[in-house]
Each structure stands twice: as C-alpha cells, then as structure tokens.
Amino acid sequence: MTACPFCAIARGDGDARAVFEDAEVVSFLDKAPLMLGHLLLIPRVHVQTIWEADEPTATALALAARKLAKAVVVGMGADGAFVAQNNVVSQSVPHLHTHIIPRRQGDGFFSPRIIWKRVKYPSPAAADEVAARIRAAIEANP
C-alpha cells in the first residue's frame, strides 16, 4: 500500500495550501477545484469513510465544515456553499474528506446531467491569495 497523501498533509509533510487546522482536522485548497475556493477538510486520523470515524472525529469534521462553509462564503464573496463527501464510490483518496465548495446563483454547478469540470488557479499566487482570503474570513469569525 502506498502512503496516504492526506495523512502526509495532516502531519505537515504534504504539499497543500492550508486554510485551517486544529488538533483534530486540517483543511486546504483542493488542487483540482470545481470552483475557485474549493476546500478539502480531513481528519488528522486516518479513516477511509464516515462510518469508520468515531464520534469525536465525526463531530470535529461537522463543526469544522460549518465554520469553513461560512468562511468560504465570506472569503470568496459567494452566495452559498456546497458541502459533501464521497464514501468509497468516487473517493479519489481513500482518506475521509469533506468538500466545501463556494456557490453562486446561476453558476451551473448542477444540471439535469451533472458533469463537473475542474478548474485551475491561474497562478500559484492566485491560489495563495484565495487561501489568504479564506483564512482571513476564518480569523474574522472564529
């Protein structure tokens, strides 16, 4: 089995633009976002699915997701946020993670036949600026 890239990020060894972390969770920009500002939220402990997570881990994820959803809306000037998990099916990294994606009215994110297209940050500096905006929103609303 190969090493888990999300465990490396949780240890501080992985390549990620972190926006939030505490003793239980870490959140960072998705490298292949569906919308700019798309975050991933992971528990520090390695579990693959939500049903494998113990209650303290699931609670920490839920509370952090709430905080981060608000921060994404504020930091990105969005109208709302999409918060979701894949468990096994479509789970690209077998480490529990929650997607937190900024939404705007009319953004076309959902359609009768959903085909989600990934976007790219125009530059590393642009990704850094987005991460900084979200971190500032978190700090302003702890």
Q: Where are the domains of the chain?
A: 5-107+115-140
Kindly tell me if the per-residue pLDDT of 118 is higher than 50. Answer: yes
- Reference 85, options 133, 120, 43, 119; nearest CA is 43
- The topology under which CATH files domain 5-107+115-140 is HIT family, subunit A (3.30.428)
pTM strictly above 0.85: yes
Identify the band that residue 1 occupies on the pLDDT scale cut at 50, 70 and 90.
very low
Q: How far is CA 8 from the centre of its chain?
A: 16
> Distance between CA 77 and CA 79 in Å, rounded?
7
Residue-by-residue DSSP string for 123-137: SHHHHHHHHHHHHHH
Instruction: Give the model confidence (pLDDT) of 46-98 as tens digits.
Output: 999 999 999 999 999 999 999 999 999 999 999 999 999 988 777 788 899 99
